[in-house]
Structure 1
Amino acid sequence: MDYKQMAKEILEHVGGVKNVANMSHCATRLRLNLRDSSMADDQDVEAIDGVINVLDKAGQYQLLIGTEVPKLYDEFEVLVKGDTTTTIQQITNENSGSVMSNIFSAVSAIFAPLLPALAGSGILRGLLILSVQMGLITENSGTYSILFVASMSVFYFLPVLLAFTSARRFGASPYISALIGASLIHPFFIDLMGNAGNGTTTEFFGIPVVLMNYNSTVVPIILSIWAFSYLYKFLDKKVPETLKLVIIPLISLLIMIPLTVIVIGPIGVYSGEAVANVVSWLIGRSSILTGVVIGGGWSVLVSLGIHWAINPIMINNISTHGFDYIVPFTFACNFAVIGTTIGIYFKAQDKKLRSFALTGLITVALSAIIEATLFGLLVKNRKLFLAQIIGGAVGGAYMGLTKVVTNAFVFGSVTTFPAFVEKDNANFINAMVGLLISMAISAILAYIFTKKDEKLA
């Protein structure tokens, strides 16, 4: 695939550089905020080789590309930067569209680069737990300690990693931002809490400071770098070029680190905990209903491109508590998609349709990418989409009833099963039962809803 040529064609058919107000990508999509969406020609864009589907939802012009989207994004970014005097950081930080579309775009851009590290670390953690249960590794061995560090470092140093990606999204210096994140988990700062933990107080030039443990946190550093981006741009305009090398980092660190630990950090911690508590409350009040809504509705959120708004909650739960209840419901959705493809494969006689269904089955099972099947098949056939939704809802209900959790933020596939491994074997067993339910119900309904002469639309 010639991604450079592909990027040129996309840019041409969405109205050119001047029409791109914001750009980012997630695991499978190139996401653009266009100043005037009417300038984009959907049919011409979708006709470009490599573009699977085009969707204009939630204030974003989304192009479904697949897992190779980072390669396209790199070429697209070069074209935008090369054809204008405005840097890409300034472009991506420009407000465009509704508040919600800007939030979705920011969340996508901040977390997308970290997903491979989060998923890989999560799987390694699950395999480590499994190895201990099988007696292959003992918890007091050096091997265990090394693998534990390998699997947990991404969570411990999450403020540093998020600082870097947030800076790229908001238009601040990634390296000064990383320093701000690193300062929050510096051992000397953590030692100020002693054995008392969160809520311990100290002072900064007489100003009371409520101390928090920021390792593994998500919200505080994102808020901090968002605020820092305004300070950075102000300094970048006002400080003479000959003094920028020293003055900008100096003033940035002097202002932002105290401001973060005094004001922004505690607000971020408490707000993040509040969101997590609301989710826990909902699950506690009706875990079955929560499973139905998320297990059945996750594919709808994916089809609208707004599922990214939920991901930070799951990541925060994993990094803070070590487990999450929502991720299993997304597994239920994915395995319902697998079930739907199975039902289609065994009922349909059209070779192209059966081939597409089989390809979708393998893709979801191994990589957890449902978009191709979702847009290429389910969205175009309401009955099959309903079969998938019902299967995901019933499987999600069972997993909610049995309180299934994952110990990692991962995408739902066969390869990510280790995320269900806990000291309590019942968690893994109930997860497998729930996924089997999702798959079986969707497969049966898809078989019923599919006509023998069904064609691939």
Structure 2
Amino acid sequence: MNFKQAAQDILADVGGAENVTNMTHCATRLRLNLADRSLADDEKISAIPGVLNVVYQAGQYQILIGTEVPKLYAEFEQAVAVARGDAPLATNQESTDKGSIISRIFSAISAIFAPLLPALAGSGILRGLLILATQVGFIKTGTGTYTILYAASMSVFYFLPILLAFTSAKRFGASPYLSALIGSALLYPDFINLMGKAGNGVVTHFFGIPAVLMNYNSTVVPIILAIWAYSYLYKWLDKHVPESLKLVVLPMVSLLVMVPLTIIVIGPLGVYSGEAIAAFVNWLIARSSILAGVVVGGGWSILVSMGIHWAVNPIMINNIANNGFDYICPWTFACNFAVIGATLGVWLKARDQKLRSFAVTGFVTIALSAIIEPTLFGLLVKNRKIWLAQIIGGMAGGAYLGLTKVVTNAFVFGSVTTFPAFIEKNGMNFLNAMVGLAIAFVVGAILAYFFTKRDEKLA
């Protein structure tokens, strides 16, 4: 069966994309909700190769395909997206595999994170408003209201591996739902409890094979690598498992192989890479605070893009706990304010309303909540010149903060609402912090303005 052709034929014969109000599938049927049932031509659809039957039940137009319906659904979903202008025509695996390795990596990252941008942006705004509400005393921490709103604003980050598993599967050509299950297994409470109070680094065993455990919530790299690897297993199973057994055998083997493989092999890559980054930062601080400010201020967004910036957080927390202050946290502020500046530069230069709107959303989100991921993956990763502008801005601001040895007295994320963390008995600490962040902001804005084309689009 030619799934792509069949999907296009079905779409045409049900009245086009405008007539499809909702679509889904079960184990054997493509299920469509149609705005106008009379536009669907049952005879033509029944005659399409691969279509076994057509029925209309419970308000759904149901097209019987068989156990291969997920393949048809994927092509049908793409055909609808293209018809509505929501997706480019050249989105197949062959087209995305062209180009240099770097281009392919950035293309993959963009495709994986783009569907999550609204959730990330909305959650970031909500978190920022919640922080502001608690600081002015409108909402008290620990109350039911605070907890409910905190859960609403932070769930997207805690369950990020599940969401990334789903979008990664769509990019790499695996089952999105089985991939989401793989991500879910990493966050399962009993699995997390294996670490006890010791935290990351605890070793457990799987049939005698040692496995290093870590908390995978909010992580990025492990699950993307896992689903990339799983896509090869999925395609192999899809090709070799008989159709009559796919419903049971394919998901069983997928989970049986990929969950242990991710925990034993792929997951620890994130652990050890994070530990290496943390060790490097400590080594750098001991030798030159200015150089450390340049590296962390400029490189923080790169670490965030790889999801291994969390490895540096324990260093900051430990510094606060033991010394009452920390030097690293201000450099992360420099990164964030360089991103804010970059959004301003883009807004001032670009004329595309969609891009300008996205830039404003990023500006507000970061200023209130310090969450840069929506802007990072929605704008900077896609346009490396603008990303370079942000990196240079972060380096400039980080250098000044390192030179003046600015500290924070709390572990916070860099935004306007967390400025109180700079307040020290020495008033110059706050003043130097504002100067350093202003440098990051202005440099990022100016360079982003010059690096942005007037006809720049939000890809």
- TM-score (normalizing by structure 1): 0.57
Cα 1:325–1:283 shift into 2, 3 Å: farther
Q: Secondary structure at the match of 2:195?
A: coil
Q: Kindly provide the CA deviation profile for residues 146-175 of structure 1, in whole angstroms up to 9, marking residues without a partner as x.
A: 122122212221211121122122211111
2-structure distance, mates of 1:309, 1:73: 35
1:332 paired with 2:338, answer: yes
Percent of paired sites with the same residue = 56
* Residue 195 of structure 1: how far off its partner (Å): 2.5
Alignment of 1:68-83 (within 5 A): 75=85, 77=87, 79-80=89-90
Amino acid at match of 1:312: S
Q: Mean Cα displacement is larger for which, 361-370 or 157-166?
A: 361-370
Amino acid at match of 2:406: T
Alignment-derived partner of residue 243 in structure 1:
245
> RMSD value over aligned CA atoms?
4.9
- TM-score (normalizing by structure 2): 0.57
Flag the structure with larger Rg: 2
Q: Secondary structure at the match of 2:106?
A: helix
2-structure distance, mates of 1:150, 1:319: 26
Cα 1:332–1:77 shift into 2, 3 Å: closer
Alignment-derived partner of residue 127 in structure 1:
129
Alignment-derived partner of residue 196 in structure 1:
198
Alignment-derived partner of residue 275 in structure 2:
273
2-structure distance, mates of 1:134, 1:247: 56
Cα 1:267–1:443 shift into 2, 3 Å: closer
Cα 1:189–1:367 shift into 2, 3 Å: closer
2-structure distance, mates of 1:115, 1:324: 26
* Residue 429 of structure 1: how far off its partner (Å): 7.0
1-structure distance, mates of 2:262, 2:138: 44
Alignment-derived partner of residue 91 in structure 1:
94
2-structure distance, mates of 1:118, 1:360: 17
Alignment-derived partner of residue 136 in structure 1:
138
2-structure distance, mates of 1:195, 1:392: 36
Q: Indicate conservation of the 8 Å contact 2:230/2:258, yes or no.
A: yes
* Residue 249 of structure 1: how far off its partner (Å): 0.4
* Residue 76 of structure 1: how far off its partner (Å): 6.6
5+ long unaligned stretches in structure 2: 1-80, 318-328, 364-374
Cα 1:126–1:188 shift into 2, 3 Å: same
Q: Secondary structure at the match of 1:208?
A: strand
Q: Secondary structure at the match of 1:101?
A: helix
Q: Kindly provide the CA deviation profile for residues 358-407 of structure 1, in whole angstroms up to 9, marking residues without a partner as x.
A: x999985564489xx99xxxx9xxxxx99x99877644433455357995
Q: Indicate conservation of the 8 Å contact 2:225/2:266, yes or no.
A: yes
5+ long unaligned stretches in structure 1: 1-70, 82-87, 299-306, 343-352, 380-384, 410-415, 450-455
Q: Indicate conservation of the 8 Å contact 2:204/2:210, yes or no.
A: yes
Q: Indicate conservation of the 8 Å contact 1:339/1:438, yes or no.
A: no
1:111 paired with 2:113, answer: yes
1:262 paired with 2:264, answer: yes
| 2:186 equivalent among 184, 187, 202 | 184
Amino acid at match of 1:402: V
* Residue 308 of structure 1: how far off its partner (Å): 8.3
1-structure distance, mates of 2:397, 2:214: 38
Q: Indicate conservation of the 8 Å contact 1:341/1:443, yes or no.
A: no
2-structure distance, mates of 1:111, 1:277: 29
**Number of equivalences:** 332
1-structure distance, mates of 2:195, 2:392: 49
* Residue 135 of structure 1: how far off its partner (Å): 2.1
Alignment of 1:5-16 (within 5 A): none
2-structure distance, mates of 1:268, 1:340: 33
2-structure distance, mates of 1:263, 1:148: 33
* Residue 142 of structure 1: how far off its partner (Å): 0.9
Q: Indicate conservation of the 8 Å contact 1:338/1:365, yes or no.
A: yes
* Residue 211 of structure 1: how far off its partner (Å): 2.5
